[in-house]
Structure 1
Amino acid sequence: MKKILTVLLVSMLAIIVSACGKEKAETPDTTGKQEVTKIKVASLIPPMTDMLEIVKPLLAEEGIDMEIVILSDNVQPNSALAAKEVDANFFQHPPYMEQFNEANGAELVAVQPVYHAILGAYSNRYQSVEELPEGAKVAVPNDASNLARALELLEKGGLITLKEGAGLEATQKDIIDNPKNLEIIEVDLLMLARSIDDVDMVTMLPAYAKPLGLTPVNDSLIDEGESAFPISLVARKDNADSEAIQKLAKHLSGPEIRAFLEENFADISFPAF
């Protein structure tokens, strides 16, 4: 009888232990810990870097740890992205990206337009385009897409006439009328601000003009207004649809960024979303 009772007790104990083990295994994790996804995003200067700083804590709440990688020129962010050294970048407009793709066989894609940066023409010597003298020196960007954009700006100001249909591929060869015989000097985008005292007029994006105390709405001789060049979040074809990149796109086109632009940069830009 004792043997029977012992066997029964052992069996019951085994069942209880098994049940407890099963219950423990199936108990969900209630610690609230969230798996973290890390991404790197390359950029250059404010206000792009400012906007990334705004969305960084918003992404953290969704389990995304974003590292902002600040680079020193307007070639490195695309090279780093194409080489998968970073996961996205935020500094350029789609035509500039397409130029890089064509030149390098890359597959970068624009994910989200964020804001229009208004191109302007500035001078420390003259108050209007009418005052520009014969043979005036005008500095413009030397990369293909921004050069075309600057030439279109000069045409808008009545200073030159471009061949019909030149559009976003315009070069100086497409100028068919230059009544003031302007000397158009092509300069690296990041060096334009430094050239303002050496030329009669310079075309600059607001990110480079603002540190000089200049804004397109208040100080430019010609301003571009809305264009086909929104500064955009860019990723690669192979990761553009990933959850982390899509959440970054969502926050860069969210109410916090809209408020930031409207409150701080209404005189140089406006939201593109």
Structure 2
Amino acid sequence: MKKTLLTAILASVLILFAACGGGSDEGEGLLEDGKLVVGVTAGPHEEVLEKVKELAEEEDLTIEIVSFSDYVMPNVSLSEGELDINSFQTEPFFDHMNEERGLDLVKVADTITFPMGIYSEKVTDIADLEDGASIGLPSDPTNSGRALLLFEQAGLITLEEGLGVNATVNDIAENEHNYEFIELDSAQIPRQLGEVDIAAINSNFAMEAGLVPGEDSIFIEQDSTFVNLIAVRKENEDDPAVQQFIDIYQSDEVEQFVEETYGGSIIPGW
């Protein structure tokens, strides 16, 4: 009698466990809820993802897009499980966030490249910049270093050697024209452009503000290696849904969409 009762209890537990998904492959993975939740920043990243979403529907893959206005929350939200994937950042920024915040995120693919540009409402040529001019640049570490490399590329300053994207305003070796460097929130720089003489602006934020990088910038990044990427939590890097998403994103259809829509202001990076 006791053995029969124990057997019945164990059977009930196993049925309940199976119903909840434990020990079964069915329903597991990122598509357990029937969709992929993908985080992007507003602007071109979101526009490209809308095209990806459209193509995914043809493959019976449902994508929910979550748009952010900053560079921090898409990684935090991914780490906390609110997103399945994000697509918005360069690898140097991604590495910095992973280390600084202790996130367990991994890169799984490349996406598009946004050349950073220098913009101004006061001058139309870098050569017209006066001594002591104010220069705006992003305040987050990797984009700040990227902007400083851009200023060096434009002949405005010289940086200490070997620092690359890790350079800060304190690493400016030569500033013979005594330019004043003002660090600002990346997303806000287009709105504050009139308050400085020139500023470095990430192309996604520039385009969101109605600027055309290839036409409106007075200097643009040459041979950019800052390709954006797709990131997931490490536990999901081999999920079949992730590979399906990558295949759609890196398809000929998306490449054509990027080339036709942005006319060289944004470049397919895969």
Q: Name the TM tier (shorter chain).
A: 0.7 to 0.9
Give distance in 1, aligned partners of 2:210 and 2:53: 28
Q: 2:19 aligns to what?
A: none
Q: Does 1:188 align with 2:171?
A: no
Q: 2:176 aligns to what?
A: 179
Give distance in 2, aligned partners of 1:146 and 1:47: 18
Give distance in 2, aligned partners of 1:102 and 1:238: 18
Q: 1:161 aligns to what?
A: 158
Q: Does 1:226 align with 2:210?
A: no
Contact 2:116–2:201 (Cα < 8 Å) also in 1: yes
Residue 36 of structure 2: which of 39, 42, 50 is its match? 39
Give distance in 1, aligned partners of 2:228 and 2:247: 15
Give the drift of 1:247: 0.8
Q: What are the residue-to-residue correspondences of 1:63-212 with 2, within 5 Å?
A: 63-212=60-209
The one-letter amino acid of 1:268's match is: S
Name structure 1 gaps, 5 residues minimum: 1-34
Aligned residue for 2:245, secondary structure, equals: helix
The one-letter amino acid of 1:130's match is: A
Give the drift of 1:47: 1.3
Give distance in 1, aligned partners of 2:251 and 2:223: 20
Give distance in 1, aligned partners of 2:120 and 2:54: 40
Structure label with greater radius of gyration: 1
Contact 1:117–1:270 (Cα < 8 Å) also in 2: yes
Q: 1:5 aligns to what?
A: none
Q: 1:214 aligns to what?
A: 211
Contact 1:217–1:268 (Cα < 8 Å) also in 2: yes
Residue 245 of structure 1: which of 238, 242, 256 is its match? 242
Number of residues paired by the alignment? 239
The one-letter amino acid of 1:121's match is: I
The one-letter amino acid of 2:98's match is: N
TM-score, structure 2 as length reference: 0.84
Aligned residue for 2:69, secondary structure, equals: coil
Q: 2:23 aligns to what?
A: none
Q: 1:9 aligns to what?
A: none
Give the drift of 1:218: 1.9
Q: What are the residue-to-residue correspondences of 1:42-53 with 2, within 5 Å?
A: 42-53=39-50
Aligned residue for 1:192, secondary structure, equals: helix
